[in-house]
Amino acid sequence: MTDTFPILDQYSNYMLAILGRSELTVTEYLYDLVTFFRFWKKDRGMVSKDTPLENIMIDDITVKDINRITTDDLLVYLIWLNRTKNLSAGSRARKIASLRSFFKYCHSKKHIIDTNPAYDLEIPKQPKRQPKYLTLDQSTDLLKAAYESPTESNERDYCMLTLFLNCGMRLAELRGIDIDDIHDTTLTVIGKGNKERTVYLNKACLDAIADWLPKRAEINIKPDHKKALFVSKRGTRISDDMIQIVIKRLMLQAGIDTKVYSVHKLRHTAATLMYKYGHVDIRALQMILGHQSVSTTQIYTHVDDESLQSAVEKNPLSSFDPDQK
């Protein structure tokens, strides 16, 4: 990331410390804003038209410059993005959200601009997509593949997969679990925005943890990683990349297409299976997944074709025959 300027740095800290946004979200918003200010300088003739966008420095942006930015500047930038970047609706929505959030901060929090040029920017509607998830059969095949995998990390990998599929955790949540986060049949996890929630462990999870802990005890764990539940053979907390590699390997062993399914799809799978087979209430599912809004959870209340057909067949009129007297 290029050098920024004081107000953008302050905004970054505000997002992290006050709004509780994740580091990933802040990084994405900063990338969007840096891109905008580079484009703005080039469009306003503040640098040569031949200067590649990625070479434009923005560390000289001042409060006076921010006050010069108009709604038209933002619209020109968005039109340029649409013409040159072939962005999805989701990406366009995020870039507009980053502009709205930054200029709202400058106007309402810092009071360094008189008007908010992003106030009237509309976020495009995004098509609703059904989440991709493993079927029950695929899930059991995956668990069997993990359990039977002839590797020295077998117990650890099976335990991670079991927690993913039973608890619907995010990758970062699972990676961050410490030994002392486990309390009998519950587990404390730190989710998005550094929010803490309690996850209840079923028998499969408890059994998998019980099988992994003796193997973990055989590893020479480094002092700074003593608390980590999941560690590598080098004795350090397992990385995000390694978790993804492990899950991909197990999926391939189970005959699952890794171009379609990933670690995050295991979260979708857990939520869908709980809703479809466990008949979990939507509010309870919201708490299990750690969603801030129930509207986010509602993507898992989709009804598949099998359920629709079953519902139609259960209609008491489904067996009506007009020829029978």
The set of catalytic residues is 170, 192, 264, 267, 291, 300
Find the Cα–Cα–Cα–Cα dihedral 185, 191, 197, 203, rounded to 10°. Answer: -20
> Tell me, what amino acid is at 131?
P
Other beta carbons less than 10 A from residue 77's beta carbon: 19
SS3 189: strand
Residue 276: both structure tokens together: 């479809």
Q: What are phi and psi of 37, to 5 degrees?
A: -65, -30
Residue 65 DSSP code: H
Non-local (6+) Cβ contacts of 94 within 8 A are 28, 29, 32
Residue 324: both structure tokens together: 């029978």
User: Is the dihedral angle over the CA atoms 249, 254, 260, 266 positive or is it negative?
Assistant: negative
What does each C-alpha distance from 311 to 201, 303, 306, 316, 318 come to in angstroms?
A: 32, 10, 9, 10, 10
Q: What are phi and psi of 187, to 5 degrees?
A: -140, 135
